[in-house]
């Protein structure tokens, strides 16, 4: 049976819950605001982009990243809640990894920030496991039939991050110049990194 409260949008229900907890003294709104700001501005996809750019330009770092993701990521000082055990997998011309959390929305916050709404959507969580090639195409990433797709299911024990394939035409770019090209979606595996127009 659907009650009036369950018909409210999730954002409104969340706001109402936060207000109730604040009124009862269980939540400090200042602390909450600081937490949200930290993950929106200081912790986010830019961190992950720095990790990827380093791996693309430093073979020794790339080897460490793929062997022990959490430790290699900590070399940048990126750690904290939701980042206790991050495993990094590499996308290539013939192998494509895509990340999901089929049970909830586990996500490597220290390197990717807050998860996007589509990542938490039940449709994405269910369909990408059953029909990854179809849903990737719907999200703007058609892959050839000979490309193997591996779905990585994150959990509270393991959070996955994708090391995207470096695009052709970026060999002359420095680590710092590569960072702006790398998107959150590419590090989840629902997009590829594109070379800048000048390099095409």
φ, ψ dihedrals at 184, nearest 5°: -60, -45
From CA 116, how far away is CA 44, in angstroms rounded? 11
Does the predicted model carry a pTM greater than 0.85? no
Query: Containing domain of residue 33, as a range?
Result: 9-40
Single out the residue of 85, 190, 98 nearest to residue 153, CA to CA: 98
Residue 59 sits in the same domain as residue 29: no
Single out the residue of 100, 106, 54 nearest to residue 83, CA to CA: 106
Task: Assess if residue 86 is contained within a domain.
Answer: yes
Residue 21 sits in the same domain as residue 64: no
Question: Which residues are annotated as catalytic?
Answer: 101, 104-106
Is residue 147 pLDDT above 50, yes or no? Answer: yes
Q: Which of 40-49, 136-145, 165-174, 180-189 has the lowest mean pLDDT?
A: 40-49
Task: Assess if residue 150 is contained within a domain.
Answer: yes
Those residues with Cβ within 8 angstroms of residue 147's Cβ, 6 or more apart along the chain or in another chain: 93, 94, 95, 96
Task: Assess if residue 3 is contained within a domain.
Answer: no
> What is the count of structural domains for the chain?
2
Task: Assess if residue 198 is contained within a domain.
Answer: no
Provide the CATH number for the domain around residue 90.
3.90.330.10
Residue 20 sits in the same domain as residue 73: no
Residue 187 sits in the same domain as residue 149: yes
Is residue 166 pLDDT above 90, yes or no? Answer: yes
Give CA torsion, residues 9, 11, 17, 18, to 10 deg. Answer: -170
Q: Which residues are annotated as a binding site for Fe(3+)?
A: 101, 104-106
């Amino acid at each position: 049976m659907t009650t009036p409260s369950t018909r409210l949008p999730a954002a409104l229900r969340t706001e109402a819950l936060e207000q109730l907890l604040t009124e009862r003294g269980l939540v400090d709104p200042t602390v909450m605001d600081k937490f949200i700001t930290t993950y929106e501005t200081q912790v986010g996809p830019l961190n992950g982009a720095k990790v990827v750019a380093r791996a693309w330009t430093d073979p020794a770092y790339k080897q460490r990243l793929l062997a022990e993701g959490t430790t290699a990521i900590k070399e940048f000082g990126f750690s904290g809640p939701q980042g206790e055990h991050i495993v990094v997998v590499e996308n290539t011309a013939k192998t494509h990894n895509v990340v999901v959390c089929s049970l909830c929305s586990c996500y490597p916050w220290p390197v990717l920030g807050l998860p996007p709404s589509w990542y938490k959507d039940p449709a994405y969580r269910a369909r990408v496991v059953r029909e990854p090639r179809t849903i990737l195409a719907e999200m703007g990433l058609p892959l050839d039939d000979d490309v193997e797709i591996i779905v990585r299911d994150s959990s509270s024990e393991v959070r996955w991050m994708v090391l995207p394939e470096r695009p052709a035409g970026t060999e002359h770019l420095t680590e710092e110049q590569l960072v702006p090209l790398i998107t959150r979606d590419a590090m989840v595996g629902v997009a590829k990194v594109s070379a800048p127009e000048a390099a095409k």
